[in-house]
Structure 1
Amino acid sequence: MTKLSRSELFKTGKVLVKEERSKFFIKQIATINNQFIDLKIINAMVEDNIYLNIVDNNIKLSHIQKLRSKSKQLQIRIILQGKLEKLNHSTNEKKIYNKNEISLEYEEDIEESLLNKQGQHLKYICITLDEKYLSENGFFSNMFINNFSKKLYEPDLENRFHELFNREYTSGLDKIYLKNKTMETILYVLEKVEKLEKLNLIGLDDEDVKRIKKAKMIIDESFQENITIAFLSKKVALNQTKLKKGFKQLFNKTVHEYLKNIRLEKAVEYLKINKYSVKEVSLMVGYTNQGSFSYAFSNKYNCLPKDIQKKSDL
């Protein structure tokens, strides 16, 4: 992979679409289109020491992007689409952030790079709270310790944050909008963390959590198979009651809800190719009955499978 500094990556093809500055607010909207990336990015300082980045990036060529060294800060990263990969140069550890994951990291003096892979389309939100803000708000010092790291799974993040990516950002109200959305998102994420901490995954030890995560991986890789609770329970060697309750605690969805969601998301991908009939797609994603497939699909997407194919024809 080609190694690039931030300045090297952004020096060609950059267009500053709009900029607004005041003492406690900054908004920059930029597009960057060069041989490596096709990027739209919105950067904002919504309050002193609170920063928001909204990133929509099509990666044209694989490259490594060195990131700036960070002072102590809390970063909340929300992945709506694609898979973000980072490399820690001190430990040589690779971190992966997947679609529908929310990560919280409280770190300092980290030297790291983004590993950008050709063909990836990344959409994510990153909120940064600097040390000064954290120290002035006692809640954070009680909640986080050095090198705190946590990931949460939340289904359908793309729909939840759809408006942030599709707003024009030409209004004089953007300052209020961005600040409110940022603070609302921080509250939403921290309340989820606090709730999980209180629950502390009741009744689950570390081995149980590993087995439940393995069950999720089996669903991700074999969604087209006839997957049942009994099947998963046997595969991961965990009793069915603990598997069902633990899965819901960890991923905020039942096993059946998660399986259905994966199948329908894959169905959209296959339908957009416009190579297969609706019946073929329903079988490819694990439905033996086309009627059941169409019913589940219309409930989730408010349209029929054939409507997706029609759009792809346009």
Structure 2
Amino acid sequence: MTNFIRSKLYEVGKVLIKDEKSKSFIKQIVSVNNQYINLKIINAMIEDNIYLNIVDNEVKQSYIQKLPKKNKQLQIRIILQGKLEKLDQVTNEKIVYNENDISVEYKQDIEESLLNKQGEHVKYICITLNEEYLNENEYFTDIFKENFSKKFYDPNLKKKFDELFSREYSSGFDKIYLKNKTMQVIHYILEECQKKDSLLNNLDDEDIKRVQKAKMILDNSFQENITIALLSKKVALNQTKLKKGFKELFNTTIYEYLKDLRLEKAIKYLKTNKYSVKEVSSMVGYTNQGSFSYAFSAKYSCLPKDIKKKSNL
């Protein structure tokens, strides 16, 4: 992979679409199209020490993007599409953020890089609360201790936040809109974190690791015939605790998660135009093409063959 600092990566093919500044608000819309990326990003300071980034990035060629060194901060990432990988330069730990993941991290002395892989199309929201804001609002530090890191899954993220990607951001009212949306996200995250802490009182650390392992097995083996009984044996956790724990950790049932995962993979295969509907059905774990088409149309309000037709245009 080629290494870049952000300024060098954006140097070629950068177009500044909108730049609006005042004492308490900054909005910048940037488009970058070069040999590595096709990127649209909205950067906003919605009030002192609270920053919002709305990122839509198609990666044409793999690269590593070194981010500026940061002091103590709370950062929220919401992945609506694709996969984002990050390398912690201090611990050398690689963290993967998958589609429908929400992560909350409270760290200090942050040195990290984004690992961008060719062919990935990722859409995500990042909200950063700087140290000054956290110090002024002590209830954050009551909830989030230093080196706090939590990640959870929400299958309804697109419904909640996709509107942020569809706006033109050409209105003078964007300041109000962006501030309201950012505060809604922060409030939502605070509620979810507190809810998770309450729900997980019945699961010990080992149980949580086993449930997380079950999700990893589904992610890596979605095309196989995986039953709850089999999954229970693989992670050595009884079925009742596995089902309840999965629902509590990821806001969805094992069945719904596997179904959504298979259909999301299916739409990616269909868009390549390399495979027939029957082949895609089998590739994502369906033994019956009719069942696949029914589930697909229920989720996307169209048939698999319609995706192939659009991709041919």
Does TM, scored on the shorter chain, surpass 0.5? yes
Length, aligned pairs only: 313
> Is residue 74 of structure 1 aligned with residue 74 of structure 2?
yes
Write out aligned runs for 1:244-263 (5 A): 244-263=243-262
Q: Deviations 1:18-42 (Å, cap 9, x if unpaired)?
A: 1111111110001122232221110
Match of 2:33 in 1: 33
> Is residue 307 of structure 1 aligned with residue 306 of structure 2?
yes
Give the secondary structure class of the aligned counterpart of 2:51: strand
Q: Which amino acid aligns with 1:3?
A: N
Write out aligned runs for 1:1-314 (5 A): 1-199=1-199, 201-314=200-313
Q: CA deviation at 1:110?
A: 1.5
Give the secondary structure class of the aligned counterpart of 1:171: coil
For residues 282 and 35 of structure 2, the distance between their equivalents in structure 1, rounded to whole angstroms, comes to 39
Give the secondary structure class of the aligned counterpart of 1:31: strand
Q: Deviations 1:43-100 (Å, cap 9, x if unpaired)?
A: 0011121110011112233222221111211110111222222222222222222221
For residues 113 and 284 of structure 2, the distance between their equivalents in structure 1, rounded to whole angstroms, comes to 36
Give the secondary structure class of the aligned counterpart of 1:202: helix
For residues 279 and 95 of structure 1, the distance between their equivalents in structure 2, rounded to whole angstroms, comes to 35
Q: CA deviation at 1:156?
A: 4.3
- For structure 2, the 5+ residue unaligned runs are none
Change (3 A) 1:87 1:284: closer
Q: CA deviation at 1:128?
A: 0.7
Q: Which amino acid aligns with 1:202?
A: N
Change (3 A) 1:283 1:94: closer
For residues 125 and 262 of structure 1, the distance between their equivalents in structure 2, rounded to whole angstroms, comes to 21
Task: Provide the alpha-carbon RMSD of the alignment.
Answer: 1.7
For residues 36 and 290 of structure 1, the distance between their equivalents in structure 2, rounded to whole angstroms, comes to 38
For residues 309 and 95 of structure 1, the distance between their equivalents in structure 2, rounded to whole angstroms, comes to 33
Give the secondary structure class of the aligned counterpart of 2:285: coil
Percent sequence identity over aligned pairs: 72
For residues 181 and 138 of structure 2, the distance between their equivalents in structure 1, rounded to whole angstroms, comes to 22
Q: Deviations 1:119-157 (Å, cap 9, x if unpaired)?
A: 222211110111222122222121111111111111243
Of residues 153-162 and 253-262 in structure 1, the stretch that sits farther from structure 2 once superposed is 153-162
For residues 11 and 264 of structure 1, the distance between their equivalents in structure 2, rounded to whole angstroms, comes to 38
Change (3 A) 1:41 1:295: same
Q: Deviations 1:205-252 (Å, cap 9, x if unpaired)?
A: 222222212221222222222221111112222111111111111111
Q: CA deviation at 1:298?
A: 1.7
Q: Which amino acid aligns with 1:246?
A: G
Q: Which amino acid aligns with 2:30?
A: A
Give the secondary structure class of the aligned counterpart of 1:19: strand
For residues 226 and 122 of structure 1, the distance between their equivalents in structure 2, rounded to whole angstroms, comes to 29
Indicate if the aligned counterparts of 2:72 and 2:110 stay in contact, CA closer than 8 A.
Answer: no
For residues 153 and 259 of structure 1, the distance between their equivalents in structure 2, rounded to whole angstroms, comes to 13
For residues 202 and 120 of structure 2, the distance between their equivalents in structure 1, rounded to whole angstroms, comes to 38
Give the TM-score normalised by the residue count of structure 2.
0.94
For residues 257 and 93 of structure 2, the distance between their equivalents in structure 1, rounded to whole angstroms, comes to 29
For residues 39 and 157 of structure 1, the distance between their equivalents in structure 2, rounded to whole angstroms, comes to 21
Q: Which amino acid aligns with 2:85?
A: E
Q: Which amino acid aligns with 2:255?
A: H
Q: Which amino acid aligns with 1:297?
A: F
User: Where in structure 1 do 4 or more consecutive aligned residues deviate above 6 Å?
Assistant: none
For residues 227 and 140 of structure 2, the distance between their equivalents in structure 1, rounded to whole angstroms, comes to 41
For residues 284 and 114 of structure 1, the distance between their equivalents in structure 2, rounded to whole angstroms, comes to 30
Q: Which amino acid aligns with 2:265?
A: K
Give the secondary structure class of the aligned counterpart of 2:201: coil
Give the secondary structure class of the aligned counterpart of 1:164: helix
Q: Deviations 1:258-295 (Å, cap 9, x if unpaired)?
A: 11111111221222233443333323322233332222
Q: CA deviation at 1:104?
A: 0.8
